[in-house]
Chains A and B, each alone.
Chain A
Amino acid sequence: MGKEIFYFLIFPGLLFSAVIGGFLSWVDRKITARVQFRKGPPLLQPLYDFLKLLLKETIIPVRGSVFTFLVSPVLALFGATISAVFILLPLFHIETGFAGDLIVVIYLLNIPSLTYIIGAAASGNPLASVGASREMKMILSYEVPLLLVIVSVIIKAGMTISLTEIIAAQAAGGAFIGSISGVIAFLVAIFCIQAKLALVPFDIPEAEGEICDGVAIEYSGSSLALIKLTKYIMLFIVPSFVVLLLLGGFSFKGIDILWSVLKLLVIILLLTLIRNTNPRVKIDQAMKFFWIWMNLLAVIAVVLSILGL
């Protein structure tokens, strides 16, 4: 029992993934700043943001449903943390996961988005409800191509749904991105996680200039701090998940540490560059993009992986 609590709270759960996630969000902000001729925030800025929010007053909307409103950020953080544990334990070779943990992780990664929807709906704000409906549409859009990518990974790994075995298959036969289907799958995965992390051009549920942060509009103080923390963790976990699926996971033997870190940073760099070179698209355009183009590419990736390419 003690070990599980340690896994959940300290390493690789809450504390560790929040620290790394905060660092990655700093990397993201720093790169963004450099692209935009700005100086950028200091290294500890994510921590300052979090602490400042934690100490601020939490305002509860009068017309909202208080319990649901306050509990959903906690659930979001919980979902992000527990998926961090399930992804990172096999990824760091600490413990092998159980059979079928891939499926569990797919579900767990959706919890934050779903709780945002619940929280937004409970806040009773019309802008939040617009944000919630957009978030729902976004889940419907990016989830299918992401699942198809995972299907192609499963096929390549020899029909296994265990994260440890997927890593093992890549350790034995080289990372999946080394094949044509792997490259296509990686491309699709990058766009899907861009949408999952709600970064421009797919930050439609939060569109600042239109619906003022949408789902998060009514949150303030410590509950907003929890949402921020969830976002930090997601910024670490979701790219790590892609590293696990397609880039051969992490390795900690000698110089390989550097290589592992580089994989993660390259994905963050890609996400940041996409986010800084595009305007936000509209929800119907995003749905079309995922339903037609990304699904098409993902299906091609699946077919190619069946053919063994």
Chain B
Amino acid sequence: MAKRTIVPIGPYHPLLEEPEFFKLYCDGEIVKEVVWETGYNHRGIEKICESKTFEQVFYVVERVCGICSTSHPFAYANAVESIPGVEIPLRAKYIRSIVGELERVHSHLLWVGLAGHFLGYNTVFMWAWKYREPVLDMFEIITGNRNSYAMFTIGGVRRDIDNDKISQLKKVLDFLKTKLDLLVGAVMDDPVIHARLRGVGVLTAEDIHDFGAVGPTARASGVAIDVRQDDPYAAYDMVDWKVITAPEGDVFAKAEVRLLEMYESIKIMEQCLEGLRKDSSNEIRTKVKEIPAGIGIGHAEAPRGEVFHFVKSDGSNRPVRHKIRAPSFTCIPTFRKSCVGGTIADAAIATAAVDPCYCCTERMAQAYDIHTGRQIFSMKDLIGMSQRKTEELKK
């Protein structure tokens, strides 16, 4: 076997906003194998959630990811509300969908910018992020925050969108559409981008099923999975929209899916705003007295794919167990397929193409005492603890 060089991407690398380590085993410029190391970022979110009340957990899970900071509350709300079987008011459904779709637009614009940056196309980076600004401003109008919106609560939402804001939002959406046309034209018609992204990091529909990849990664390979369509929540079954897919499975298809999805998001938001205007009630929240004992499962379509939350309640005011699965968890392993066989340049953009969110996915493996450097818990101890706890819960 020829001698292979290990080209490191990470733990600190301009390609990754987060600490994560990919070892590319290269033969010249060709990547032969990819090995990744995780565990640079443990935050113990699931554990923290167990010490908070059901209402407080919203503000914890929204910090799982700074970019999809509504998907996690969304999935968590679906999970918690499924325990007592609460039906939320119509108005809250619309508002939830609007916030969810706004987040999708801002996240996809962010991705387009970053992808441009990774390709050395900084103009696209700056332009995409410039047009992301009005979206963030809209968040500020609706929720009071540009990020981490604190909008959701059990049984509904915390703030209403009144008619005044509706017309304001519509204006911004119209502006955004013209700017999107410009950006989409610049990206889709550029021959150099075509040359750079076509046929790179190809994932077939079969690979998607094998790895269980979700979201735009799957849709770009022609697999039309979308939680919003497959298991509609909030207002998604009340509005007209379609799932965007592309058959090619390469990086360009992923970019295409994301760009076209933004138009769908705007379409959904426009219909939701119309629905809000027609709805005369101003009830935005169903009162939920208590969460009975039981388990709740909720999922939501984050910009990156399906977010999954599992909540177990014992009838007290705190979750006994809260399990979160971020979409990157299933998307990151696809690198084994998409990066191998390409060059280093291909690998860089192929890893970025699934829009990975490492810190959301990271889970704890070991614990050390910070002062003595002594190991407190090993992976085995932790698994043992977890199993013992599960046993206790089963009793």
Which listed residue (A37, A203, A284) contacts B120, Cβ 8 A?
A203
- A127 and B8 within 8 A (CB): yes
- With contacts A127-B8, A279-B116, A280-B120 taken as known, whether A209 is within 8 angstroms of B192 at the C-beta atoms is no
What are the interface flags for A67-91 relative to B under an 8 Å C-beta threshold, 1 for contact and 0 otherwise?
0000000000000000000000000
Q: Is B343 in the interface zone, CB < 8 Å from A? A: yes
- B192 and A210 within 8 A (CB): no
From A276, A278, A283, name the one whose CB has the most chain B CB atoms within 10 angstroms.
A278
Q: Is B236 in the interface zone, CB < 8 Å from A? A: no
Q: Which of A115-137 contact B (CB under 8 A)?
A: 126-127, 129-130, 133-134
Give the Cβ gap from B189 to chain A, nearest Cβ, in Å.
12
Q: Is the interface of B mostly helix, strand, loop or mixed?
A: helix
A sample of 17 inter-chain contacts (CB < 8 A) reads: A126-B6, A126-B7, A129-B5, A130-B5, A130-B344, A133-B29, A204-B345, A209-B118, A210-B345, A210-B348, A276-B123, A278-B192, A279-B120, A279-B196, A281-B192, A283-B29, A285-B196
**How large, as a class, is the contact surface on chain A?**
20 to 34
Q: Is A201 in the interface zone, CB < 8 Å from B? A: yes
- A201 and B120 within 8 A (CB): yes
Q: Is A215 in the interface zone, CB < 8 Å from B? A: no
Q: Is B136 in the interface zone, CB < 8 Å from A? A: no
**How large, as a class, is the contact surface on chain B?**
20 to 34
- B6 and A200 within 8 A (CB): no
- A36 and B123 within 8 A (CB): yes
- B344 and A279 within 8 A (CB): no
Which listed residue (A35, A208, A212) contacts B123, Cβ 8 A?
A35
What are the interface flags for B38-70 relative to A under an 8 Å C-beta threshold, 1 for contact and 0 otherwise?
000000000000000000000000000000000
Give the Cβ gap from B133 to chain A, nearest Cβ, in Å.
10
Give Cα A280–Cα B121 distance, bound, in whole angstroms.
7
Residue of A nearest to B119 (CB): A279
Which listed residue (A37, A133, A210, A280) contacts B127, Cβ 8 A?
A37
Give Cα A205–Cα B298 distance, bound, in whole angstroms.
47
Which listed residue (A35, A38, A127, A208) contacts B7, Cβ 8 A?
A127
From A36, A201, A209, name the one whose CB has the most chain B CB atoms within 10 angstroms.
A209
Q: Which residues of B contact A93 (CB under 8 A)?
A: none
